[in-house]
Amino acid sequence: MASRTFCIPGILFLFAAFVLNLLVSISLPALPALDIVRSHFTSPSGHGLATVTESSVPNESIDQIRYGIWAYCIYNAQSNDRTCVDPGHGYTTQVHSGTSSVTIKSSWTRGLAVHPVAAAVTFIALVFGFSTHITLTLISSLTAFLAALLTLIAFAIDIALYAFVHDKQNNLSGVHVRTVAGPGFWITLAALLLLLLGGCTVCFGRRRERMSGATSYGYPSKPGVFGRLRTPFRRRGNAV
């Protein structure tokens, strides 16, 4: 029972990691607040709306664009309007400002699909974590580490997207651009830490359960040095 109680925090860590990975995997356009990267556009004077148009939405001036896993959303603060384009997996965006333009190709957004894969593997680790069988608990721990590896890859892709967008958007002329990491970026980092904690905790719980099972089985202890010396004399006495 004590060893099983030791595994409960690991299950809680895996459950929290699964929920976070699932929310990030849904992303835009269903959850516009859980974007990976977002860029804010302002005029050089710091007032008013910058004239930035997105090629997929003609004649639309925007002051913010958010990049999600499945889509991107553009915002117009003056009209309080939001438009989410739903092109699916691996989308391309083009932002224009004056005579300059920036294109974020699908090669930079296609890799974001690793997020739902990490969420699925996390769910498998969570399901195996409820088992009391030692072998299934080991599978849960290994699957949790696999999910952590996939989440790490997804987080690395998020970092690459953020760095690329930050570098390219600064090339726009006549507008000030501030590119920041979105909530989905930081939630992925939190899920990664929870998966590492969950995998380690479940692994330690399994080891404790295995050790407790070995001691309770009752293996005979090996005799010491004096015990080995007394054994022949006892046998001789019984023979006499």
Phi, psi angle pair for 93, to nearest 5°: -125, 150
Is the CATH code 3.40.50.720 the one for domain 2-209?
no
What's the rounded Cα separation, in Å, for the pair 20 and 221? 49
* 149, 191 contact by CB (below 8 A): no
Q: What global pTM score does this model have?
A: 0.81
The per-residue pLDDT for range 142-195, each reduced to its tens digit, is: 999 999 999 999 999 999 999 999 999 988 888 889 999 999 999 999 999 999
Domain layout of the chain by residue ranges: 2-209
The per-residue pLDDT for range 77-110, each reduced to its tens digit, is: 677 788 888 778 889 888 888 788 888 999 999 9
